[in-house]
Structure 1
Amino acid sequence: MKKVISIIAFSLACLLSVTSCKKKDKDLSGIDVHAEENAIHFDSTKIAGFFSKYPDFKEFQPEINELYKKHDYHYIWYDRDGLIEFAEVLFDKVNQIKSEGVQNQIPYKGQINDLFYEAKEKSDPDLYSELLISSMYFFYAKNVLHGIDPKESRETGWYLPREKGSYVSYLDTLMKDPNLLKKDDSELMPLYYNLKKGLQHYREIEKKGGWGTIEMEAGVKSLKPGDSSKTIAQVRKRLFVSGDLSKDSGKSQFDEELLQGLTGYKKRNAREMDNLITPDLIKHLNVSVQDRIKSIVVNMERCRWISTDYTKDGEYIAVNIPSYRVRYFKDGKVKLESNVVVGKEMNKTVVFSGQMSYLVFSPYWNIPKSIIEKEIKPGMAKDKNYLANHNMEWNNGKVRQKPGDKNSLGLVKFMFPNSNNIYLHDSPAKSLFNKESRAFSHGCVRVEKARDLAVAILEDDKNWTPQKIDKAMHAGKENSYALKKKIPVYIAYFTASADEEGNVSFFDDVYNRDSRLASLLYKQ
């Protein structure tokens, strides 16, 4: 009877209140899970018939066969007392799957609901009900933990490696620690859970009606502190709705309170840090809450594609193309953060990973053939001194730029050999780092704080000091140095990020990839 009472109570709670059914704060460590000593055997030949009746779950047939073979064809979700409590918890998670940014609805939802809402005490559990719950588990694992097919993610320009774990084995892990259903950093990166908090916040804003459209008055190019305008009142209201201002005074004057809110908004969203309200800023503010929600969902999906192994060592370099930022992590903490310049639209920086193995000080720039054909040769045709004026020379039938302050790679480059011929490097064009949009390169990643990055990477190497690094950078002679320990480098593409409080940052979709992914996620 204890199972029947538990299930009835659970069902009533779900029917009467969504929030009471969430259990998100409940400690799940004491709930009933599968126990082999209390398990019931079934006829394995009957499994095939289930997929004839429920063909939409046929994609999970190999995993289900493997699961029950592993458990000697015993029931997992039922014991001799009925349905185990862990099955209820999983059902609750599937009912809340939209909070995970998943748009797909589970097939046969009505039958699954009836299974839980109308559960009765039975001496013999029903096999098809058992297999429905197993299918429900694999549906959850596929959509929440794994995401779309790797082939589809590659079509959106994502070439970071994706590793599919065994969700058969993972079920055993969950049975041992059901609290992992709420959060498991070994399966999903922390950014996923931060974005999940942000998703909840923006859906609450949507329920309240979102925000209105801000209109810039005709002939006004920008608004500065002290100015008065109805546009300013609209901006103030917009920042209040999104939580960037604690109150909406309704004032139409650009005062200190608004400036502080605006500064926080710009900093979080990597906008140009001036004190102005411009048409570009208005455009960013006017993106609807529905589109912001879609952006969060898209980037939660991208989180599913990254293996959590990348953080295991605590030392790695992460470049995010849309935010134009690179972060160097050491001992799991941000050691250095810098602006970067990435590839322009026709020379997109590729999303991939590599192992940084050496640094090159005072580098030559061996100019790619494509650039020679498109830029160097036309320049030489117009100016016979083009090569000399640009500190270039012929070298074995190719053109290279000599080391020096004007070298396009700057004074140091960071190498992680790859088929894309992409690396991080310094740049003499420092002014580009101050621009809001920084997609200007031929595909490589230019680092504003390249010297600081070199110092940070070699900090624990006794062969180097900051002074020696400076000398090598200005030696005018190329010098390579192999790192004692390779450093993982990840170049990723996230148009939304969030901190631990769920405060979301939105970045421009510089390569126009969000809409393609959104169409895959929202196609149903």
Structure 2
Amino acid sequence: MRPFFWFLIVLLSDYADAAIHRDTTKNVTDKALYCISNSKEITTNNSLVTIDLITLNRFFNTYSNLKKYRSDVILLYKNRNYKSIWYDDKQLIEFANVLYSKVNQLENEGLKFNLAYKDKIQTIFNSESTNEITKTEKELLLSTLYIYYAKKVFHGIDTQKIHETGWFLPQKNVSYKTLLDSLLTSPELLDKNEKQLFGQYYKLREALKQYRQIEKSGDWKPIETESWVKEYNPGDSSKTINQIRHRLVVMGDLNTDSKSDVYDAELMAGILNFKKRNGYRPDYPIGSQHLNRMNLPIEKYIKTIMLNMERCRWIPPKLAKADEFIIINIPSFTLIYKKNGQNNLVSKVFVGFNLMETVLFSSSISRVVFSPYWNVPQSILDNEIKPAMEKDSTYMTRHHFEWNKKSLRQRPGPDNALGVVKFVFPNTYSIYLHDTPYKLNFNYDFPRFSHGCINMQKAKELAYLILADYPDWPLEKINEAMNSGVETTCVLKKPIPIHIGYFTAWVNEAGEINFYFDIYDKDRHLAELLFEDNIE
């Protein structure tokens, strides 16, 4: 009886153990299935780094000030099958050090390193640090650091903020996975990557370096002006001229400083270069406006360069690599027609002002209209033409206006506000590029302003160049259409991209930095967004 009793006890015990084991196995299996169904868990390097959605979310809950980067970091790991990026063979890969070094040199990119927990990140690279963090934390901090750097340098401020500045040109999309893949293979692309950044960016970066060297040298001393002198002309002598000469040497407009007080031929050449670089009419008198420009603090020039580097971050590099396009820079009052990589035409323009600012956007020229009618906008009719008609009964006749149903238009002719040709590109802002009868306005430092459209000095020449490959439009036919007094339209076989931008600093093909006046006060607004002291 006793042996059977013990046998029964052992049998029941084994059954109970088996039941417990089954329950435990079921719980573990259920948990595993839960994890697998909700994330992919991959343990690499002998459990050094564990990455899954639970770990990622836990990390961003712990480092809550980094949550704005969470979606991009998670997508980065999803696209890499949740594998470690920064560890290889139990060690940080070399690119981690390269990235950290570049982040600490963000000032060279015209930016500040103001990422939250940057002291924590520093401990990753400090072997003497006593602040222990897990390798998984290091991994995710570095991935966040990468996204932070890529956004700052290769993308720029948020799209919503870009639109707040009035910039509606096409923006590029940055694939952080593709970018990372290229950087891991070719780390030197952190220094220069023209597939990701508009080429002008790197020219401005070099100019930033030069102006910071000037700032560091302490050689940017104020020019002492003489209140009784309205302007300086060739042949004049003054200590102020001596100081002007030195400033031109510092800025690169003169090669050597003779230290002469006399406004001589050498200084004349330097003044011409200075005026060309700063948007002035190229002549020799030096007035108060020129001295005020020279006397701007060096910090102002540096900030202007940084702001325009930011604008370059928004531009898709391929935009400027098209076979044919037109770009208009509003602050410089300049249009450039590029074809096959060459500047085929450079022309002065004047643009809208005050409540009629010309909008910054891109489109494509689809039609060229010769001897155009000018359909008067309602606002101009109400605010300008009707009051003029009330004062002068002959106003409409003298200016060749006529009613077209309920709208007013100006007939084609030499006095037409649109000149002899206009270039039509679809947009919701009622903006055209066109000729103008007011050619004398281009002789001033700052051309007169329009009601929003872009008035062009060399409109005829642009029409000739655009239609050069159109056999049906020889030069004689174009000239006849321009002067016929009858509106005639040519539909382009291939629309030409046109981009209206806003750059107050630009490095030309000769490597010279040009500065232009912030006529729409957009630099101030962008500076408020870009130079916020908030921790990111």
Q: What TM-score do you get using the length of structure 2 for normalisation?
A: 0.87
Select which of 148, 154, 160 maps to 2:163: 154
Local SS of the residue matching 2:312: helix
Task: Please give the alpha-carbon distance, in whole angstroms, between the structure 2 residues aligned to 1:38 and 1:447.
Answer: 65
Match of 1:506 among 505, 509, 515: 515
SS at match of 1:234: helix
Any conservation in 2 of the 1:194–1:501 contact (CA below 8 Å)? no
Report the 3-state secondary structure (helix = DSSP H, G, I; strand = E; otherwise coil) of the residue aligned with 2:493: strand
Q: Is the 8 A contact 1:409 1:425 kept in 2?
A: yes
Q: 1:38: Cα distance to partner?
A: 8.3
CA distance in 2, matches of 1:43, 1:176: 23
**What is the SS of the residue equivalent to 1:520?**
helix
Distance in 2 between residues matched to 1:274 and 1:306, nearest whole Å: 35
Report if aligned partners of 2:329, 2:503 keep a CA contact under 8 Å in 1. Answer: yes
CA distance in 2, matches of 1:119, 1:143: 30
Residues of 1 paired with 2:374 and 2:510: CA distance?
44
Aligned to 2:339: 330
Contact 1:230 1:252 in 2 (8 A): yes
Output the amino acid matched with 2:287. T
Residue-by-residue CA offset, 1:323-380 (whole Å, 9 max, x unaligned): 0000011112211110001112231111111111000000000010000001110111
* Aligned twin of 2:19: none
| CA distance in 2: counterparts of 1:163 and 1:494, whole angstroms | 18
Q: Counterpart of 1:300 in 2: which secondary structure?
A: helix
For 1:53, the aligned partner's letter is: T
Alignment of 1:83 onto 2:95: no
Equivalent runs, 1:234-245 vs 2, <5 Å: 234-245=243-254
**Kept after mapping to 2: 8 A contact 1:63/1:168:** no
* 2:23 corresponds to: none
Counterpart residue number, 2:267 = 258
Q: CA deviation at 1:108?
A: 2.1
In the aligned structure 1, how far is the partner of 2:463 from the partner of 2:448? 23
Specify whether residues 320 and 46 from structure 1 end up closer, same or farther in structure 2 by C-alpha distance, changes over 3 A only: same
Does the 8 Å CA contact 1:145/1:188 hold for their aligned counterparts?
Answer: yes
1:167 corresponds in structure 2 to 176
Distance in 2 between the 1:37 and 1:452 partners?
A: 65
- Per the normalisation by structure 1, the TM-score is 0.89
- Structure 1 residue aligned with 2:30: none
Task: Give the aligned CA root-mean-square deviation in angstroms.
Answer: 2.0
| SS of alignment partner, residue 416 of structure 2 | coil
Paired position in structure 1 for 2:372: 363
Percent identity of paired positions between Structure 1 and Structure 2: 45
Matched, 1:444 2:453: yes
Does structure 1 conserve the Cα–Cα contact (< 8 Å) formed by 2:237 and 2:261? yes
Matches within 5 A, 1:107-118: 107-118=116-127
The structure with the largest alpha-carbon Rg is 2
Question: Aligned AA for 1:62?
Answer: S
Query: 2:326 matched to 1:302?
Result: no
Structure 2 unmatched runs, 5+: 1-42
Gaps of 5+ in 1: 1-35
Counterpart for residue 73 of structure 2: 64
Alpha-carbon contact 1:355-1:487 (below 8 Å) kept: yes
Q: Secondary structure at the match of 2:397?
A: helix
Cα deviation 1:49-70 (Å, max 9, x = unaligned):
2223322221111111111122
Instruction: Give the distance between the partners of 2:365 and 2:128, measured in 1 at CA.
Output: 57
| 1:128 and 2:137 aligned | yes
Residues of 1 paired with 2:261 and 2:532: CA distance? Answer: 43
Q: Over residues 430-458 of structure 1, what are the superposed CA-to-partner deviations in whole Å (9 max), with x where a residue is unaligned?
A: 01111111251000001101011111111
Aligned to 2:392: 383
Equivalent residue pairs, number: 486
What secondary structure does 2:61 align onto? helix
Say whether the 8 Å CA contact 2:376–2:407 is kept in structure 1: yes
Pairing 1:312-331 to 2, within 5 Å after superposition? 312-331=321-340
CA distance in 2 between partners of 1:294 and 1:149 (Å): 20
Sort the Cα spacing of 1:132 and 1:76 in 2 relative to 1 into closer, same or farther, 3 A: same
Q: Which residue of 2 aligns with 1:32?
A: none
Is the Cα–Cα contact under 8 Å of residues 364 and 401 in structure 1 kept in the other structure?
yes
Q: Select which of 409, 424, 427 maps to 1:400.
A: 409
Structure 2 residue 359 is matched with structure 1 residue 354: no
Instruction: Give 1:42's aligned residue.
Output: 50
Give the corresponding residue for 1:14. none
2:50 maps to a residue whose letter is F
Superposition deviation, residue 222 in structure 1: 1.3
Q: CA deviation at 1:88?
A: 1.4
Partner Cα separation in structure 1 for residue 161 and residue 99 of structure 2: 27
Give per-residue Cα distances to partners, 1:73-115, cap 9 Å, x unaligned.
Answer: 2211111151111111111111111111113423222222221
Letter in 1 for 2:179: Y
